[in-house]
Amino acid sequence: MSDRILLTLAVFAFFLVCVLLMWRGWRRKSRAQSVQVPPFAEIPAEPGEALIESTGVYISTTTAGHWQERVVTRGAGLRTGAVWRLHEDGVAIERGGGPDFWIPRASVTGVRKDKGMAGKVMGIDALLVITWLAGDVELDTGFRGDDVDDYPQWIEALQDTRNDIKGGA
């Protein structure tokens, strides 16, 4: 009987040590990224009328081109319910349970549909991913919309912005 109790305690202690090490690793990664990745812009007080609005799940933000390299600093690594709103000057990402942020339209370098991001793999074209610049760091921010039929509107609107910026330069 006492062997069983000792074995149970040993397994429980091992589990606690693993959780502690994962937590410390997450915090270390967050501190390192807080130096590399600038703070995300806040949503303006008066962003204007929403041109497109979609509800769904904010998947995560990763470094561009590295779909498994999750950005964890400042709450960006937390998967949450979200509302994305496209405004004339940018994208407002309002997250339930995580900090909201703003992607300025001038910072958008690409937009696409994708199948996976940071530990979340879905069917083909199930995610909407916006590639954008935060300072000098290029990031991918992923969203799983409740209605994937909204994605073509997002892609067309954000690609039009990129074309306007390139044409005006």
Instruction: Read off the pLDDT band of 121 (50, 70, 90).
Output: confident
* pLDDT at res. 27: 77
* pLDDT at res. 67: 79
* pLDDT at res. 56: 93
Which of helix, strand or coil describes residue 13? helix
Instruction: Read off the pLDDT band of 38 (50, 70, 90).
Output: confident
The CATH class of the 52-168 domain is mainly beta
* pLDDT at res. 167: 46
Does pLDDT of 60 surpass 80?
Answer: yes
Q: How far apart are CA 169 and CA 166, in angstroms?
A: 5
Per the CB < 8 A criterion, the answer to whether 26 and 74 are in contact is no
Put simply, whether the predicted model's pTM sits higher than 0.85 gets the answer no
Segment 94-107 shows an average pLDDT of 90
Tell me how far CA of residue 150 lies from CA of 7, 28, 31, 108, 145, in angstroms.
53, 37, 36, 18, 8
| Higher local confidence (pLDDT), 104 or 168 | 104
Q: How far apart are CA 24 and CA 167, in angstroms?
A: 47
How many residues comprise the chain?
Answer: 169
User: How large a percentage of the chain has pLDDT more than 70?
Assistant: 89
Tokens of 78: 């937390």
Q: How far apart are CA 51 and CA 102, in angstroms?
A: 15
* pLDDT at res. 125: 80
Mean pLDDT of all residues in the chain?
A: 85
Instruction: Read off the pLDDT band of 136 (50, 70, 90).
Output: confident
| Higher local confidence (pLDDT), 20 or 121 | 20
**What ranges do the domains of the chain cover?**
1-36, 52-168
Does pLDDT of 7 surpass 70?
Answer: yes
Task: Kindly report the backbone phi and psi dihedral angles of residue 142, in degrees, each rounded to the nearest multiple of 5, phi listed first.
Answer: -110, 145
Bridge partner residues of 55 (DSSP): 83
Tell me how far CA of residue 80 lies from CA of 8, 99, 169, in angstroms.
34, 10, 37
Segment 21-33 shows an average pLDDT of 77
Q: How far apart are CA 85 and CA 143, in angstroms?
A: 12
Residue 81 burial (10 A CB sphere; 0-12, 13-18, 19+): middle
Per the CB < 8 A criterion, the answer to whether 126 and 143 are in contact is no
Q: How far apart are CA 150 and CA 74, in angstroms?
A: 28
| Higher local confidence (pLDDT), 139 or 169 | 139
